[in-house]
Structure 1
Amino acid sequence: MPSRPPQVSLDKARTEQNLTYIRQMLAELRAVAAGEEADMLCYLIEMAYIEAGDVLEGERPVNIAKTLI
């Protein structure tokens, strides 16, 4: 009988997939906002895009509240 991967590994993989999806959607939203010349929206979406990338690269935690405890 094959062994199952630990739940932590599955949770981490799911989180990574979700963050990758969010980052992709942010890139699309940024393009839409740029097309509308919505400068402030472009800026805010870009910041969220960068944050998602930082989390994916391990430079920032997913949940900063957990690191403050």
Structure 2
Amino acid sequence: MNQKPARAPLPPHTAEENIAYIRQMLGELRTVANNEGADMLRYMIEMAYVEAGDILAGLRPMSIRGHRDPAIGMPLKAAGKIKF
């Protein structure tokens, strides 16, 4: 039987390396979308690209879990009658 030699497991990547990889791929996707004239798609990819750059630069947290706006979840009051 031909058995393949066991490979050493790949080292785990850090979150920073993963975000850098995502940013690189987004840059390539942005170019493809631009070449195809998909302006809205290119714009959304660009926003994700900028977000990834901000995370890498330490300007934004990677997650917003636990950082909720206290106004979220508040019940809305009916406007009632409008007086002119």
Determine if the TM-score, normalized by the shorter chain, exceeds 0.5.
Answer: yes
Aligned-residue sequence identity (percent) comes to: 58
Gaps of 5+ in 1: 1-10
Q: Which has the higher contact order (CA 8 A, sep 6+)?
A: 1
What secondary structure does 1:64 align onto?
coil
Which structure has greater helix proportion?
1
What secondary structure does 1:65 align onto?
coil
Q: CA RMSD in A?
A: 1.6
Aligned residues: 57
The answer for the alignment partner of 1:55 in structure 2 is 55
The answer for the alignment partner of 2:33 in structure 1 is 33
Runs of 4+ in 1 over 6 A off after TM superposition: none
Q: Tell me by how many angstroms 1:67 deviates.
A: 3.2
Gaps of 5+ in 2: 1-11, 69-84
Structure exhibiting the larger radius of gyration computed from Cα positions: 2
